[in-house]
Amino acid sequence: MKIIDDLFAMRRDLISDGFDEALNYLSKLIPLRIHRYPTGSNCWTWTIPKKWSVTEAYIEALNGDRLVDLKNHPLHVASYSCPIDEVVDKDEIMRHLYFSEGRPSAIPFAYKYYDKTWGFCIQKDRMSNFVYDKYRVVIKSKFEDGEMKVGECTLKGKTDNIVVLASHLCHPGIANDDLSGVSVMVDIYNVLKDRNNYYTYQFLFVPETIGSIAYLSHNADILLKSKCGIFMDMMGNKEPLSLQYSKLGNTPIDRIAKRVFAEKFQRFEERKYLAGMSNDEKVFDSPGVDIPMVAINRSPYPEYHTSDDNPDIISEDKLNESKDVVLKIIDIFDRDYIPVRNFTGPVFLSKYGLWVDWHKDYKLNKAIDQIMLRMEGDKTVFDISEEVGLSFNDTVKYVDMFHKQGLITKTWIA
């Protein structure tokens, strides 16, 4: 909650001093390497835009009646609005005002990153104040060459193969989307940093879409090493957690996430790739990139992309629940492997201390023969646990005992 409270009001536009300030703040909590992409540089088919800043933005009637003022809320001006200081008529003003039909007392979030236009966002309830024929519009904004920043922290594991954990940081004046994902990621880092992980975990804090594109287009090696990813956003509101599968939909991370959700929740919303509110998974799992990425969030929610999405709608309980679900998925993925048998025939269980008395554990006793049939190198321990109907923990504990006795070799998904 502290991270969310501290970063909430910062003007964290795509390329901005506020975004840099937020990354600096995070780098005191998690050791970040900051990657820089200068304005105008090309990333695949995209070009890095200019840095944007705004010092003043308002609309007033010619009699001085101020109808909207950036001073009152960071969402009042559309992000990346062009500068303007003009008197315009009512028709023109109306073309540049954004409001939310569904939430008339909230200010919507609008952005014009690539449009070269300007806009103001206001409460629909206040539209009735626009009774004048002429208005003075002032936006003191500046576009200049700058550097887009991506914050990256890599936690080395036993293997160089990477699991990507990502969230975006570029929604100024909004809390649940995206700071809740950022704060959960920091917590997850703090848990994983004290563990002996098999995989290397890469934490990425990006400006949405363009940040992931810049990073991946400049790091071909990361692309090759990344096995899968989890995108985290909208994690603290009261709505239930939902799971969006990767493009392929049935990769190991998809199946593990599905199992964790199914075990944790009686019912949950599951969506096909890009069927929900999509974020940077559409970059990670895009043509030629193909890193299977599941997306976990609590969407849809009514406050989405409005000023009502503030720290008041976030609870510590929901953040923790989100964190626990993601950690559980990571926990299984990290300990999973493909057992390949070194034995022939049924193993003499008693000789190796592998016999399980059915009086003590009936379920495991019954599953042993089924487990031994599935060590041909085409199934992971997780697959085996699904097929024999045991928990992953019980299965991995038992299969690990085969490994200790030299009866299997561990291999991993290529």
User: Under the rule (CB under 5 A), what is the footprint of Zn ion?
Assistant: 177
Identity of the residue, 152 or 177, whose beta carbon is nearer to Zn ion in the bound complex: 177
Identity of the residue, 169 or 291, whose beta carbon is nearer to Zn ion in the bound complex: 169
- Tell me which H or E stretch contains 220: helix 220-225
DSSP-assigned states of every residue in 243-285: EE--SSS-SHHHHHHHHHHHHH-SS-EEE-TTSSS--THHHHT
Identity of the residue, 20 or 177, whose beta carbon is nearer to Zn ion in the bound complex: 177
CB of 47 to Zn ion, least distance (A): 22
Identity of the residue, 177 or 321, whose beta carbon is nearer to Zn ion in the bound complex: 177
Residue whose beta carbon is closest to Zn ion = 177
CB of 185 to Zn ion, least distance (A): 16
Pairing of strands 226-232, 162-168: parallel
CB of 276 to Zn ion, least distance (A): 12
CB of 12 to Zn ion, least distance (A): 12
Identity of the residue, 179 or 186, whose beta carbon is nearer to Zn ion in the bound complex: 179
Return d(Cα 130, Cα 67) in angstroms, integer.
8
**Bridge partners (DSSP) listed for residue 340:** 376, 409
Instruction: Let me know: does 284 contact 206? Beta carbons within 8 Å.
Output: no
Neighbours of 145 (CB within 10 A): 11
Identity of the residue, 177 or 269, whose beta carbon is nearer to Zn ion in the bound complex: 177
CB-based contacts of 190-194 (< 8 A; 24+ apart in sequence)? 190/30, 191/327, 192/155, 192/330, 193/155
CB of 170 to Zn ion, least distance (A): 9
Identity of the residue, 174 or 388, whose beta carbon is nearer to Zn ion in the bound complex: 174
Pairing of strands 134-144, 120-121: unpaired
**Bridge partners (DSSP) listed for residue 111:** 79
CB of 25 to Zn ion, least distance (A): 20
Amino acid at 262: A
CB of 286 to Zn ion, least distance (A): 18
Residue 224's nearest CA partner among 275, 160, 267 is: 160
